[in-house]
Structure 1
Amino acid sequence: MFVAAVYGGSPAVVLDKGTFTGLTSGSTEAFLGVPFAQPPVGNLRFRAPLPNKPYSGTFNATVFGPACIQQTSGIPNVPNISPAALKIIQGRITSDFGSPLLDDEDCLTINIYKPANATSGSKLPVWIYGGGFEIGSNSMSDGSVIVERSLELGMPVVYVAVNYRLSALGFPMGIETRRAGNGNLGLLDQRQGLRWVQKYITKFGGDPEKVMIWGVSAGAISVTAQMLMNNGDTEGLFRAAFAESGSPIPTSAVENNQGIMDTFVQAAGCGHKSGSPAVFDCLRSVPIKSIRAAMNATPGIFVFTSIILGWNPAADGVTIPAPFQKMVLHSKIADVPLISGDCDDEGTLFSLGNSNLTTSSEFEDYITKLWGTGNRTIVEPLFAAYPEDPAVGCPYATGTVNNITSQFKRMASITGDLVFQAPRRLFFKRIVRTQPVFSYINKRMKSTPVLGAFHGSDVSNFYGPGDMTDYLIRFATMLDPNGGNVNATEIPWPQYTLETKQMLMFLDGDVSLAIGTDTFREEAIEKMMEFSLTHPLP
């Protein structure tokens, strides 16, 4: 599907015996949809990715490759959901994802954006996209914005974006996955993409010894997973990491999410093989149309169960030997400089689908059933740590407004801390004494009704370009966000230590940057860390 005529006057690069023709825009060149692994179709479905075969012939690299098969994240069918929440969900689906992405099972492609005059000394941010491990594509953001800004700063970079498999195809669950040894395929796709970078990136002017991996949301969780995988051995694939709203999340083992796998397998017509590795032989013979329908029969991002996702990285005994947070405490972690931060109001977006909870009793029953496996004693310490008072809820510092139901701000606070703030602090406790760490909190867009400085609200600051872009480029280039010249509107970004806990704050208004401390909700988040370590989510 990539073979085409070479266009006159277009940039070209030779890989093996193949000639790839790309696009030129200003001082940037782009090579899109380059396959980095063999298509994971047929007998390769539900298997670890295989390296691409040597290239030969001519390839049209002027259009994006298809997204990997998407799980439809439609409007939730939740009784008595808040009308305000439903309206926001409809708006987010439209604004964040627009028209459905063109997807295909043959999707393991990579996009490369480079300065037209790049040399082998250029640096390499590698971007991994987010989407709850259910949706998303490497075509969703324009890497040329980053490259153009890097040229203006005199710190040229090459920007690479890797596709990876999603939902059931990328993160199968259940005991059959452990027995087959084929879990976390999406993470393996990412690592194969990084190996491709090592082999070929010099052809695009990049330096394979100066790769930084960067991701947002599920992409940020993936970045930290890459730091944990392989007993912390990077294989020399990257030298720095940037995790934007995501840390090692409190998930458990693949078999603990057996129910979601059973639903998928049954819907795909392979229920008679459930629990056995042979189920994958059956699933490999199922038409992709049926696989897609079966994926869509499982819960999406905005449903009532919220952050208990159907498909996400989990311990499989091979790629991820143990639950993430146990690995954080007891395993080796890649010793690379890290930037990691979150938005102030991470939990609001994920608390819309359960906005039908309108009483304290309903809230506590929900947390007990879904987080405490029915044991109220397990979760009771969280109820006092996250009170019903909307003035202390999320969006924070907004008083009693934005509380679309009496439990919304409470739910948003406890959800955001469980998935974002508590995992980040736990990760920092483990690594800040051994490697450079910088942290931030994004408080911009705080005035967004109901959502505040919501999950993903900082993305536009990176692709603006803006001050976040500049810190990112300096970090990729010099392993220090303050490296080179800091302009008059910026301030030095302090390194995070357990003694000072200083972090950079991105703010609205005339004073757009300030230094704060990572001590907000300290007692509550400490309780959350204790809870998630002993009772991880499925």
Structure 2
Amino acid sequence: MADPIVEIQQGKLRGRVDCDYRGVKFYSFQGIPYAKPPLGKLRFKAPQPPEAWSGIRDATKEGSECYSTHMLLNTIIGSEDCLFLNVYTPELPSDGHQSLKPVMFWIHGGGFTTGSGNTDLYGPHYLIAEDVVVVTINYRLGVLGFLCLDDPKLGVPGNAGLKDQVMALKWVQKNIRDFGGDPDNVTIFGESAGGASVHFLMVSPMTKGLFHKAIAQSGCCLNSWAWGGVNGEILCSRLEYSTNDESTMLEFLQEVPVDKLHSIDLIPKDVMRVDLRRPLGPVIEKISPDEPAFLAEDPIDIILEGRYHKVPFLLGYLSREGMLIELVTPKDRQLVTDFQEAIPFNLRIPKGTVLSLETAEKIKQYYYGDKQPSLDEIDTLYKLHTDNFFLRELYVVAKHHAFTSSEPVYFYKFCIDGPLNMLKNIAGIKSPGACHGDELSYLFKASPGDGFDPNSDEANNVFRMLKWWTNFAKYGNPNPQQLDDVIDVHWEPITYNKMNYMEIDYQLKMGQDPDGDRMRFWGEIYGQNKITFKS
């Protein structure tokens, strides 16, 4: 079969034919530039539209990943020239098919410092079988994506990595018809930092009309780890360059070799700390005279006042998100012994004060009682980190969106503990529960693994996730038209007085108020204090 050719606004692309998990063909177009390479004076700046090319561009291989450390292999990978996306489609208009298919736009996780949209973790071979077009993207990471300078006139107010995502969505609007995708039915979905990105896109004024449904997996824009701050001075000091002038600072940083930039570790080694604001991540921008802001207000205010993009929204968490600590923190530093470190920074409680000491004691007593924290009770630590890093804000966000939106909000708790739980297996965790990221292997084919046997007991778990996610993308409702042996429980959205959720396990169950006792405890902690993400 001849390689498929598609012509988009910038020129012609040559793709290739691949096969999904069933052996059915689909079309793959990889390494498509959606923005001008952010090099030289464009380093740290908002992305610029892509340039045209002559002839036929090879789109049979993935483009460079964005410069970072690989999240699993711990090796330096990628390039600054990395603003590429991949499109996978079951059918092309040239095949004579006229109906346009729903588009699922994937945003990868990785703490805004690592990851890519490539098939080593995010193969489309499962989702594509449900008759949708799948788009995966790269966006700038770390310093390259989230340098933030205080002077808005310099054009580096922060959030370049998020603006990359906006540019990729604009590319989809202009070009996805040529791949058989429907620009009027785009679902953004992502996990961890990708889930937070989805939520940031929902509250940003830059994204109106660019998407129509949203799925946030294990991340939202209120999570403490999803925030950075002004960081040019600290970066320069680590590079042993001293200046108080941000214009001079920017010139210096735009000329520093990328490997030297990347070698400066601005992220604390103890990444499982909610009391520290990360120096790299999304920010509330100061208004620039030359370009619109991705986010210029505290998202808390935007959400409470209902001034976000109201689209059908699906979000949720995994039963033991906090198992992530096994992948990011050495054993000898995992235990929380000073519970002031368990007080989120956005509560603005100064350490050492009476209020800080009292709040720390409340947290310690709630999770451990009079016992001393010990790794012998590791599940208690997993629960604390599940709540403090992920669930608390997801729970609050789901409620607030349900109260302020005219569109349905669906919530889930993923509890499956099976052979496809990739991150749990990589970490060698034996405790029961689903680890942060474990649901990904039920949606994507990862090249390190062998996929799943369609005739196995585990297949039903994959089929459910695929049906729910793609039904939501098609109709704004995850439920199938009729219940069957695979999906035998109707998924109810949250209502004004019922925090409904789907418990995703080998046996499905609709419930109310997931882990509600723990959430009420945190509600009391937060109810006493005003929170804000403003620097």
TM-score, structure 1 as length reference: 0.81
After TM superposition, give the deviation of residue 205 of structure 1 in Å.
0.5
Change (3 A) 1:280 1:530: farther
Give, in whole Å, the separation in 2 of the partners of 1:64 and 1:480.
32
Q: How does 1:89-108 map to 2 (within 5 A)?
A: 97-98=72-73, 100=75, 102-108=77-83
Residue aligned with 2:124, SS: helix
Aligned to 1:437: 409
Aligned to 1:374: 351
Aligned to 1:238: 211
Residue aligned with 1:145, SS: coil
Aligned to 2:220: 247
CA contact (8 A) 2:214 2:314 kept: yes
Aligned to 2:439: 458
Aligned to 1:149: 129
Change (3 A) 1:369 1:245: closer
Aligned to 1:353: 329
After TM superposition, give the deviation of residue 158 of structure 1 in Å.
0.2
Q: How does 1:190-229 map to 2 (within 5 A)?
A: 190-229=165-204
After superposition, the C-alpha distances for 1:376-431 in whole angstroms (9 at most, x for unaligned) are 444433542453655999xxxxxx9x96266x555443332233222122222322
Change (3 A) 1:306 1:350: farther
Aligned to 2:469: 472
Q: How does 1:306-321 map to 2 (within 5 A)?
A: 308-317=277-286, 318-321=293-296
Letter of the 1:100 counterpart:
T
- Structure 1 residue 137 and structure 2 residue 116: aligned? yes
Letter of the 2:57 counterpart:
F
Indicate the larger mover: 113-122 or 328-337: 113-122
Listed as ranges, the gaps of 5+ residues in structure 1 are 1-7, 74-92, 151-155, 394-399
Aligned to 2:478: 481
After TM superposition, give the deviation of residue 499 of structure 1 in Å.
1.2
After TM superposition, give the deviation of residue 518 of structure 1 in Å.
2.1
Give the alignment partner of residue 68 of structure 1, picking from 38, 46, 66.
66
Change (3 A) 1:363 1:377: same
Change (3 A) 1:240 1:359: closer
Change (3 A) 1:98 1:359: closer
Give, in whole Å, the separation in 2 of the partners of 1:247 and 1:215.
10
Change (3 A) 1:325 1:32: same
Letter of the 1:128 counterpart:
I
After superposition, the C-alpha distances for 1:426-477 in whole angstroms (9 at most, x for unaligned) are 2223221322100000112289425732111111122264311110010101
After TM superposition, give the deviation of residue 193 of structure 1 in Å.
0.1
After superposition, the C-alpha distances for 1:240-292 in whole angstroms (9 at most, x for unaligned) are 000111112255998x845x5434222345x3235624422221111212212
Letter of the 1:404 counterpart:
L
Give the alignment partner of residue 389 of structure 2, picking from 405, 411, 419.
419
Root-mean-square deviation over aligned CA pairs: 3.3
Q: How does 1:484-523 map to 2 (within 5 A)?
A: 484-490=481-487, 491-508=489-506, 511=507, 513-520=508-515, 521-523=518-520
CA contact (8 A) 1:346 1:454 kept: yes
Change (3 A) 1:220 1:353: same
Change (3 A) 1:68 1:373: farther
Give, in whole Å, the separation in 1 of the partners of 2:269 and 2:5.
41
TM-score, structure 2 as length reference: 0.81
Change (3 A) 1:501 1:359: closer
CA contact (8 A) 1:176 1:275 kept: no
Change (3 A) 1:417 1:298: closer
Residue aligned with 2:438, SS: coil
CA contact (8 A) 1:418 1:532 kept: no
After superposition, the C-alpha distances for 1:324-367 in whole angstroms (9 at most, x for unaligned) are 3343224611110000000111223137627546887x322434
CA contact (8 A) 1:33 1:63 kept: yes
Give the alignment partner of residue 12 of structure 2, picking from 2, 9, 19.
19
Give, in whole Å, the separation in 1 of the partners of 2:105 and 2:344.
39
Indicate the larger mover: 135-144 or 431-440: 135-144
Give, in whole Å, the separation in 2 of the partners of 1:417 and 1:349.
12
Give, in whole Å, the separation in 1 of the partners of 2:362 and 2:55.
65
